[in-house]
Structure 1
């Protein structure tokens, strides 16, 4: 029976061009139903039992007091809830929720996502964006390192060329001295070695 009442509330609100969405209407309906149940606990019999002297002397006045108390209590509760709704913008939030649900709702041919049973596969879509960020930052670091290496290589190239020319010069000098040493007669070499040792 409550489902039919809920449907009636939402359809009647839609007919009257209520600016509130379906969920806000359901919330209002639930609050009104709760208030009715709360107020039903404030029965005349209980008040009559507590205020039995007044009930015996003037029961009509007590009934009027009971009705006024019920009306005043309902008004106070509704005012408090309305002010809370305005302060927290509940109506706007519920209407936004309606829009989000409409935008993200699946079509008749689409299936909702369900876990596959393998957590490593299920977590892939969630970590994909993080992995992409990590990859881009690593690519940036790699590019910086490669640029630095290129600069160092370019700075070392003139030194390497200088060392190559020096090596060639030294080899030429060594070859020259070897040729000069080869031209000295053998007996003269022996005399020089004796002279150096003494």
Structure 2
């Protein structure tokens, strides 16, 4: 009996301290609305936590602490229950901190909103023909015209690009022609000067030079 008194843990159980499941998970302190997906997450975490705690069997402790099992099994069972309770509280605190740090509540609320909006759009009345072909075919023709417009815009861009390239080519040809004209004018000026110089020489001297050249 003394052994039981010495090994009595200081942390009380949920039954002795009045701590409820809600208080341990922090659900009583939540101020933000939680949608169904967040509630499902909490329920799944709670079930997973419970399964983990329930997997701690006395037989495992008995094998590891054989001396305690043989001498005072009731004390070992009490220690196991205290260990499971403390581990459960630690897991609850970690889960609560994780939900707070990751800001899961608004994320799951946004998910609920998106799902609700998507569902409401699906519930809208489907399109039905009005019985007037000119009106019913408008949407189809609109899509066809949009595709045709896109093709024409691409063709226009290609034409503009080709026009720009041809303009550059014509401009280069013009520059080449202007340069050639300048060269021709320079040659004509040279011939004009040569003609003027030849015209100033007397014809007799030219004939005399010609005769000398023939004689040679």
The TM-score range, normalised by the shorter chain, is: 0.3 to 0.5
**Relative contact order: is structure 1 or structure 2 higher (C-alpha 8 Å, sep ≥ 6)?**
2
Give the TM-score normalised by the residue count of structure 2: 0.44
Q: Highest CA radius of gyration, 1 or 2?
A: 2
